[in-house]
Each structure stands twice: as structure tokens, then as C-alpha cells.
Chain A
Amino acid sequence: DAGVIQSPRHEVTEMGQEVTLRCKPISGHDYLFWYRQTMMRGLELLIYFNNNVPIDDSGMPEDRFSAKMPNASFSTLKIQPSEPRDSAVYFCASSLLAAYNSPLHFGNGTRLTVT
């Protein structure tokens, strides 16, 4: 299996622009997670899906952030408009079962820089 695939690996954009991050989870995994990693705050859960349905979005910072999962093999995280404080590494992860029952499989992340 190719693992969790994220694109792009790097994104540099100007403040105010729309940014879309993409994720393809491992086939057969029912759970998909979006995390953000910064030096100051570490890894933070933004949102997670179960069978394509958003379950907990309490970690989404504000309305500028939105996530979708139109099918079992694709998810997007969109930031509109982007701000410099959104600069971070964004990880997508998937798991076979509920979080306590199986480990998270992470992609290699998208490094976002907003200038």
C-alpha cells in the first residue's frame, strides 16, 4: 500500500489567498483526521471523519477553515482567506478503526507558508 498521500508537499501563498490541501487515505480505513503541527502548539487535531461524515470539528480554528470528504478516497482542507498565522505543517492521517483501537497512519504533510 502506498500509505496516506498528501499534496502538495509545500505551499507558499500570500495572505488573503485561498489554499486547498489534499489527502488520499489508505484504502479501507474508515477514519480520516486532519492535524496541524507548529513548534509552539505541537500536533493539534482539527477535524476527523468517520465513513466520510465529519464527527468532531471542534479543533477547526475559525470559519476560514473548512474540510470535506466527498468519498472514501479523498479529502480536502481549505483555508479562505489565508493568514500568516496559518503557517504550519498540515498532516492528514487515517485509521482502520476508532482511535483507541488502531494507530494513526500519517502522510508526510503539507508545509504551508503564508506571507
Chain B
Amino acid sequence: EDQVTQSPEALRLQEGESSSLNCSYTVSGLRGLFWYRQDPGKGPEFLFTLYSAGEEKEKERLKATLTKKESFLHITAPKPEDSATYLCAVVRNTGGFKTIFGAGTRLFVKA
């Protein structure tokens, strides 16, 4: 069965305290892995797409990496405005294409 598991469920950091979020997956026919950010009361907002093991993408304080079994979202020197829920999603080929989301990691960054 296809699964996308994110850990930890919640993460509390002090401003400037770097850390990583994990997304592990067991999906057949993986076509891509996406990271989204979701703020309260809003829809998810796209951050990164990764397609192959070894690939890395960066944006400001965020860097996403991908292996054959998992992806990491590294947050360097976070600020309070980085507080949000971070969602991982994988796209697999089912004859059509289906996106499966993980449950997310809620990040709290305290000033």
C-alpha cells in the first residue's frame, strides 16, 4: 500500500535553531515529490519539486533533498515567520497521476 509518513508531527524551535523535517515514502511508480507550506486558514503553497535521488533544491532558509526512500526539508536559522505546517506529497503513475499527501509537520519557531 502506498504510504507517505512525515515526522515529527510537531517541532518547536527557537529562532536560529536549525533542524530537519522528514518525509518517508513507500510508493510504486514514483514520478515526483513535492513540498508545500500551509498557513492557518489557507491552502497549501508550493515550495519545491524533486524528481530523482540525489537532487537538492534551495529557497531562502529552506533546502529539500531526496533519496530513494525519503526526503528531508532542512531549515537553517529559522525565523518566526517560518512557522507553518509543511506538507510532503508524492505523485505516482496509476494510469493517470495521483498525488498522495503526508499528514504534515507543524513547525513553531519562537523568537
Contact = CB atoms under 8 A, between A and B. Distances in A.
Interface of A: 4, 33, 42-45, 48, 55-56, 91, 93, 98-101, 103-109
Nearest to B35: A103
Contacts of B87: 43
Nearest to A55: B96
Given A99-B91, A106-B43, A43 B101 contact: yes
Contacts of B32: 99-101
A42 B43 contact: no
Nearest to A100: B31
Contact of B102 (A42, A91, A101, A106): A42
B91 A108 contact: no
Interface string B70-101: 00000000000000000101010110111111
A100 B97 contact: yes
Given A98-B97, A99-B97, A99-B99, A105 B104 contact: no
B42 interface: yes
A88 to B, nearest CB: 14
B43 A103 contact: no
A42 B89 CA distance: 11
Nearest to B91: A100
Can you list the 4 inter-chain pairs with the closest CB atoms, starting with the nearest? A106-B43, A100-B31, A103-B46, A43-B101
Nearest to B103: A42
B20 to A, nearest CB: 21
A109 B45 CA distance: 12
B49 interface: yes
A98 B62 CA distance: 26
The residue in A33, A103, A109 that gathers the most chain B C-beta atoms within 10 A of its C-beta is A103
